[in-house]
């Protein structure tokens, strides 16, 4: 009586073992097929030039050389190329972000914290920025009034409004106050932008919106003794697309509770301002092609002056009796400059995009400027070395 039972057990074990082996092979073959499909798809698909999600140019195909292979440089380039051009790369990034947020309940991604009101904040534990002596030397050498309009970063305002959790180390306000103090000590006139509110900034981007830029413009013109202009509501336009900015690109849409609405003042309001850069003039002040593009991660902020340029001039052709201001800036200045060009002639320099040999002091003398304005946000620690070499 026991023998049939033993036989049945052995047969059951064989069936179980056989099923496990089949599933193991199915899993292995499926995994290999997926990898093979992604690899072949990456190779045969036309290379993408730029990633909207990462807002950067992607690595292109490599023509290996014997020397490059021997030194390993070409192998590193090929690895970067394959990583950048990987089939479904954006989908994988989005899926990983969804897992982090919805499964692992992580409130941070890539150092970005999303507050309950939807504002994305980038805390910083750094407490001090060393201001080079080059700023004081520049003030003395240029022998013109030098102003600093240092916009508080969104993190500074979030700290002030207690949006950042107490367990997160962030010292943006302390750093901001120290920079204001040190720039004053260097001989600059501070144009305080402390009136700015959180609503003057985009939720998903580190920049201010058009309301913050307009508020800064009013402060700057008042402090520099310029005549401000005030646009009408009819001049204001709003992009119909949702805007997901620099911080949303770092976290993906999984962490962006809602998109922003990008507002701007139309080209007609700035008619007559001649913009010159890269050896050509008659460039657009407002380029609406950037708000007409489709895509979640289009950098719509480039509607202002088409983004950043090393050296640029802005002049209203019908008015020749206005002062000339040298503006040293980062991307925060871009929506302010069109307003400012209605009040003065501008020579604009972004030291991130000029040759290493560029000399700001010589440029100021060459252009015979009447005053100098540094227009930045408070996250400029990375620019200090550049300014030390160019001022």
pLDDT, tens only, 75-107 = 676 666 656 555 556 565 555 555 555 554 566
DSSP secondary structure code for residue 249 in this structure: H
The answer to whether residue 385 is domain-embedded is yes
Q: How many CB atoms lie within 10 A of CB 282?
A: 7
Please, what is the average pLDDT of the chain?
84
Q: Which of 58-62, 89-93, 163-167, 366-370 has the lowest mean pLDDT?
A: 89-93
Nearest-CA neighbor of 263 among 292, 239, 240?
239
The answer to whether residue 335 is domain-embedded is yes
Q: How many CB atoms lie within 10 A of CB 114?
A: 22
**Average pLDDT of 108-131?**
84
The answer to whether residue 328 is domain-embedded is yes
DSSP-derived pairing of the beta strands 273-277 and 263-265: unpaired
My answer on whether 137 and 237 are in the same domain is: yes
Domain that holds residue 241: 120-390
**Average pLDDT of 41-68?**
60
Burial 59-73 (b: 16+ CB within 10 A, else e): beebeeeeebeeeee
Q: What is the structure's pLDDT at 48?
A: 58
**Average pLDDT of 34-61?**
59
Q: What is the structure's pLDDT at 199?
A: 96
My answer on whether 168 and 261 are in the same domain is: yes
Q: What is the structure's pLDDT at 1?
A: 46
Burial class (CB in 10 A: 0-12, 13-18, 19+), 318: exposed
Q: Residue 300 and residue 315: Cα distance in Å, rounded?
A: 24
Q: What is the structure's pLDDT at 60?
A: 64
Helix, strand, coil shares, percent, the chain, to 5: 45, 15, 40
The residue out of 36, 61, 85 marking a domain boundary is 85
**Average pLDDT of 177-201?**
96
The answer to whether residue 105 is domain-embedded is no
Q: 32 or 204: whose pLDDT is higher?
A: 204
Burial class (CB in 10 A: 0-12, 13-18, 19+), 23: exposed
Q: 42 or 194: whose pLDDT is higher?
A: 194
My answer on whether 219 and 312 are in the same domain is: yes
Place 37 in a pLDDT band, splitting at 50, 70 and 90: low
My answer on whether 251 and 319 are in the same domain is: yes
Residue recorded with tokens 């914290």: 113
The answer to whether residue 1 is domain-embedded is no
Asked if residue 310 has pLDDT above 70, the reply is: yes
Place 217 in a pLDDT band, splitting at 50, 70 and 90: very high
**Average pLDDT of 143-172?**
92
Residue recorded with tokens 């305080």: 192
Rg for the chain (alpha carbons), in Å? Answer: 27
Q: What is the structure's pLDDT at 51?
A: 55
My answer on whether 26 and 144 are in the same domain is: no
Phi (first) and psi of residue 67, to 5 degrees: -65, -40
The number of C-alpha atoms within 13 Å of 47 and in the hemisphere containing its C-beta is 11
Place 283 in a pLDDT band, splitting at 50, 70 and 90: very high
The answer to whether residue 92 is domain-embedded is no
pTM summary value: 0.77
Phi (first) and psi of residue 121, to 5 degrees: -120, 145
Asked if residue 165 has pLDDT above 90, the reply is: no
My answer on whether 274 and 327 are in the same domain is: yes
**Average pLDDT of 143-167?**
93
My answer on whether 159 and 275 are in the same domain is: yes
My answer on whether 238 and 365 are in the same domain is: yes
The answer to whether residue 13 is domain-embedded is no
Q: What is the structure's pLDDT at 68?
A: 65
Asked if residue 255 has pLDDT above 90, the reply is: no
My answer on whether 79 and 167 are in the same domain is: no
Q: 10 or 258: whose pLDDT is higher?
A: 258
Q: Which of 88-97, 168-177, 227-236, 362-371 has the lowest mean pLDDT?
A: 88-97
Cα torsion angle, 176, 180, 181, 183, sign? positive
Q: What is the structure's pLDDT at 300?
A: 94
**Average pLDDT of 233-244?**
93
My answer on whether 79 and 208 are in the same domain is: no
Count of the separate structural domains present in the chain: 2
The residue out of 58, 85, 112 marking a domain boundary is 85
User: H-helix or E-strand containing 75?
Assistant: helix 73-85
My answer on whether 162 and 242 are in the same domain is: yes
My answer on whether 264 and 376 are in the same domain is: yes
DSSP secondary structure code for residue 207 in this structure: S
Q: Residue 16 and residue 281: Cα distance in Å, rounded?
A: 77
DSSP for 158-185, written as a single string: HHHTT-S-TTS---HHHHHHHHHHHHHH
Give how far Cα 4 sits from Cα of 12, 13, 363, Å.
12, 14, 100
Q: How many CB atoms lie within 10 A of CB 51?
A: 17
Q: CB of 309 within 8 A of CB of 329?
A: no
The answer to whether residue 91 is domain-embedded is no
């Amino acid at each position: 009586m026991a023998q049939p039972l033993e036989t049945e057990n052995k047969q059951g074990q064989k069936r179980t073992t056989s099923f496990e082996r089949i599933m193991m092979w199915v899993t292995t073959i499926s995994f290999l097929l997926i990898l093979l499909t992604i690899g072949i798809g990456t190779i045969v698909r036309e290379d993408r030039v730029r990633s909207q999600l990462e807002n950067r140019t992607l690595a292109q195909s490599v023509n290996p050389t014997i020397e490059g292979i021997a030194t390993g440089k070409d192998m590193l380039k090929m690895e970067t190329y394959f990583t950048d051009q990987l089939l479904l790369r954006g989908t994988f990034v989005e899926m990983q972000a969804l897992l982090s947020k919805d499964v692992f309940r992580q409130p941070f991604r890539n150092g970005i914290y999303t507050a309950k009101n939807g504002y994305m904040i980038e805390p910083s534990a750094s407490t001090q920025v060393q201001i080079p002596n080059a700023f004081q030397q520049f003030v003395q050498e240029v022998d013109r009034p030098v102003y600093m309009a240092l916009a508080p970063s969104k993190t500074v305002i979030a700290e002030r409004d207690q949006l950042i959790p107490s367990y997160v180390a962030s010292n943006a306000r302390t750093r901001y106050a120290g920079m204001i103090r040190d720039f004053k000590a260097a001989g600059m006139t501070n144009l305080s932008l402390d009136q700015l509110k959180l609503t003057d900034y985009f939720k998903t981007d580190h920049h201010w919106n058009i309301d913050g830029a307009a508020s800064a413009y009013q402060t700057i013109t008042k402090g520099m003794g310029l005549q401000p202009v005030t646009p009408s509501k009819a001049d204001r336009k709003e992009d119909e697309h949702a805007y997901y900015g620099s911080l949303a690109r770092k976290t993906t849409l999984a962490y962006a509770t809602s998109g922003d609405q990008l507002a701007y003042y139309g080209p007609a309001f700035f008619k007559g301002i001649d913009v010159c850069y890269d050896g050509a003039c008659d460039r657009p002040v407002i380029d609406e092609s950037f708000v007409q593009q489709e895509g979640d991660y289009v950098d719509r902020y480039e509607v202002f002056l088409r983004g950043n340029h090393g050296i640029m001039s802005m002049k209203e052709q019908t008015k020749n009796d206005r002062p000339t201001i040298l503006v040293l800036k980062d991307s925060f200045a871009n929506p302010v400059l069109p307003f400012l060009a209605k009040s003065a002639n501008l020579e604009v320099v972004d030291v991130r995009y000029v040759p290493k040999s560029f000399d700001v002091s010589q440029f100021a003398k060459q252009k015979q400027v009447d005053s100098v304005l540094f227009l930045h946000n408070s996250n400029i620690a990375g620019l200090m070395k550049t300014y030390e070499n160019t001022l």
